[in-house]
Chains A and B, each alone.
Chain A
Amino acid sequence: MKKTMLKIAMVFILAAVLVSCYPGDDVSVKDLDTTSTFYKKSDFTSPPKSAIIYWDVAQLKGDDGDDIDYKGEIDDEILNTTLDNLVRLYGVDNVYIFSKDDVLFPVPSNSGVKVIKFGETVPTVDAAVVPAIVLRENTSVGIIYPPCLPGYWYWYCYPPIVDVTTYGVGTVVLTMHTNFQSGSDPSWTALMRGLLSSSSGSSRTIEGINQAFEQSPYLN
């Protein structure tokens, strides 16, 4: 009888080992999405009352050409979801769009927002928001300096984007600047990871950006 019990025990222990320490359900791509927001408290002691958004999504590429293929598939969601949240925070009269192009693409979701075009005087605002997307594979750096673009902007080019963790390919990055001195770090950085990973990227982009603003109540 003892031998029988020992055999049963062996099967039992083997089964226990096989189920392993880390069981799990099926993990979907969406389950791996994260929204991370980082901010400097000292920059929000007096929250912004107005903001301007740069109407383009900076594509953060590497020098080796080893980037994923991206043709602006989720630019609309990135820009318009961010715009909607800014309008919700500061009101339509206190939000501006800055565009280097005469014709805006994508079309802004809120036609009441004033558009400042290249060459026009930029109004005084408390915060500037720059959207970007990471296309470089295996990007893991301290600070990313996006390429400069022609046209008037506070820094004449995109501001540096601080990496507080490892970027994954497809990560959408929103930075908000409240200190407009050249070279200053962003006051608020939001990283929506993994949004290009599947065909559901569109809805996940919207959810991720909405979540970033929702979990940052200090923005207004």
Chain B
Amino acid sequence: MKRIYITAFLLIGLAMNSNAQSFWAINWDISTGAGDTGDFIGNVNVRGASLDGRVFINDNFAVGGHLGWSTLYEKLTDLPPIEIEKDGISGEISGTQMHYLNVFPALVTSHYYFESGNVKPYIGLGLGGVWTEQRNDVGLRSIYADSFAFGVQPEAGVFIPIGLNSSGINLAMKYLYGTSAGDLNSLGLFTFSVGFAFMN
């Protein structure tokens, strides 16, 4: 995973110091879980942010990095009891459950920008690592697990210029998939991003 971070930092450094055209976006991320993640937290959560940096290799193709942080939360009542088994004693615990999920993807990305005038639609793919922290609070008890897994994130979006200096709005739809790792099942996260972006 260190290689991914080093590559990401190199790409960001390259983008900041070169004369190549670059793209930066700071996004507000609205996310909802899918698959096993959706079973754990099924509602739409608006606590998320991400940073995208890309440098263009040619007119249409860009490589870069993606850093994100999404916090998902759901309060659930009337769930079946949690079953436990320890030292020959079996048991069940029931009560209101507070489900929390923090997802931190760090991805190396590549994007293809379509030729369509000032508005620039794009598709892309990110590969890298995802750190996931999951917590289930039942009363004053807490069940915690975290993992660092391989992640892949296909993405489709559009950059809409507004005003001067090539600044604009970035809109994107992403699906982040993280492999199962540690005590956690695979991660699935649909995200709609809206953010400030600029190209130079």
Q: Which of A16, A32, A164, A215 contacts B89 (CB 8 A)?
A: A164
Within 8 Å CB of A8, what residues of B? 26, 196
B49:A13 contact, CB within 8 angstroms: yes
Q: Is B148 an interface residue (CB 8 A)?
A: no
Is A144's CB within 8 Å of the partner chain B?
Answer: no
| Interchain CB contact under 8 A, B91 and A32 | no
Given A5-B26, A194-B139: A21 touches B91 (CB 8 Å cut-off): no
| Contact residues in B for A36 (Cβ distance below 8 Å) | 91-94
Tell yes or no: A9 within 8 A of B by CB: yes
Residue in A13, A33, A39, A165 whose beta carbon sits within 8 Å of that of B96 in the complex = A33
Interface: A168 (CB within 8 A): yes
Chain A contributes a number of interface residues (CB within 8 A of B) equal to 38
Residue A177, interface by CB 8 Å:
no
Cβ of B21 under 8 Å from chain A: no
- Closest-by-CB residue of B relative to A42 is B88
- Give the CA-CA distance A73 to B7 in the complex, in Å: 66
Enumerate A170-220 residues with CB–CB distance to B below 8 Å.
193-194, 211, 215-216
Q: How far is the CA of A1 from the CA of B199 in the complex (A)?
A: 11
What's the minimum C-beta distance from B28 to chain A, rounded to whole angstroms? 7
Give 1 or 0 for each of B89-113: 1 = CB within 8 Å of chain A CB: 1111111101010100000000000
Q: Return the contact of A35 from the options B90, B95, B98, B165 (Cβ within 8 A).
A: B95
The docked-state distance in angstroms from the alpha carbon of A38 to that of B81 is 12
A194 and B96 CA atoms in complex are apart in Å by: 13
Stretch at the interface among A23-31, A101-109, A150-158: A23-31
Known: A5-B26, A9-B26. A168 touches B140 (CB 8 A): yes
User: What 0/1 pattern do residues 163 to 200 of B give for CB contact below 8 A with A?
Assistant: 01101000000000000000000000000000010100
A193 to B47, CA, bound (A): 32
Q: Is the beta-carbon distance between B88 and A39 smaller than 8 angstroms? A: no
Which residues of the partner chain A approach B49 to less than 8 Å between Cβ atoms?
12-13, 15-16
A-B contact pairs, 5 of them (CB 8 A): A8-B26, A24-B73, A25-B75, A30-B96, A32-B139
B residues with a Cβ closer than 8 A to A are 24, 26, 28, 47-49, 51, 69, 71, 73, 75, 81, 88-96, 98, 100, 102, 133, 135, 138-141, 164-165, 167, 196, 198
